[in-house]
Amino acid sequence: MSFEIEDLLQLGSKISYKKKDYILRQGQFSNKVYFVLNGFVRHFVIDKDGNEKTIRLTTENGFFYSSNVSFYLEEPSYINCQVLENTELIYWTSIQLNELRNSNSDFLEFENKQLINFIIEKHKKEISRLTKTAKDRFVEFNKERESYFNRIPHHIIASYLDVTPETLSRLRANIKS
């Protein structure tokens, strides 16, 4: 028997957030894992100069820890999680997940797969930022997530791509022409 997403969804609790609500603020503790039923979540930090830097974007059918470090180390989060649209989530507490880990070995495999996907996503983003030009990052993002431009503010996409809003605007104009 394998553990399927449907099994997990039935065990979770639904929660809704309105556009611009925070799921987690820097300094709070994270003890939940989420799944996006519908909506849009951004994960960001505040840099040393006080600027918001978007580090992850999660949409429908995506799993996320509001803060991996806070969740596993039980320390305050340095990450903020904010919804960018009215959003409906399912969540599980760390206690629920520990119970699942202890009672269902198939869940461990399922969870491990989710964590591996997260690590790969994070690694690809880090390598892209270090090895690709702003134009290349934009083209790659646009190929995979073009619909985001119709859903969220462009300055957040610019922050995710590690470019200024002006640079993003130029890149979009150059690609269209």
User: Which pLDDT tens digit goes with each residue over 92-134?
Assistant: 999 999 998 898 888 888 888 888 988 998 899 899 889 999 9
User: pTM for the full model?
Assistant: 0.87
pLDDT for the residue 155? 96
- Cα 32 to chain centroid, rounded: 13
- Please give the Cα distance from 129 to 77 (Å, whole number): 23
- Residue 82 CB coordination number (10 Å): 21
- Please give the Cα distance from 64 to 56 (Å, whole number): 10
pLDDT for the residue 26? 95
In a domain, 29, yes or no: yes
Residue 4 has pLDDT above 80, yes or no: no
Domain that holds residue 55: 5-103
Counting the structural domains of the chain, the total is: 1
Q: For the chain, how big is the Rg over CA atoms in Å? A: 17
Cβ-Cβ contacts under 8 Å for 72 (sequence gap 6 or more): none
In a domain, 119, yes or no: no
In a domain, 141, yes or no: no
Residue 1 has pLDDT above 60, yes or no: no
Bridge partners of 40?
59
Average of per-residue pLDDT across 36-53: 95
- Judged by average pLDDT, the poorest of 17-31, 76-90, 137-151 is 137-151
DSSP state of 150: G
Query: Three-state SS across 31-97?
Result: CEEEEEEECEEEEEEECCCCCEEEEEEEECCCEEECCHHHHHHCCCCCCEEEECCCEEEEEEEHHHH
pLDDT for the residue 175? 80
Residue 47 has pLDDT above 70, yes or no: yes
Average of per-residue pLDDT across 82-92: 97
pLDDT classification of 9: cutoffs 50, 70, 90: confident
- Please give the Cα distance from 176 to 75 (Å, whole number): 45
- Please give the Cα distance from 172 to 166 (Å, whole number): 10
In a domain, 12, yes or no: yes
pLDDT for the residue 177? 60
In a domain, 152, yes or no: no
In a domain, 110, yes or no: no
In a domain, 88, yes or no: yes
CATH code for the domain in which residue 52 is found: 2.60.120.10
In a domain, 90, yes or no: yes
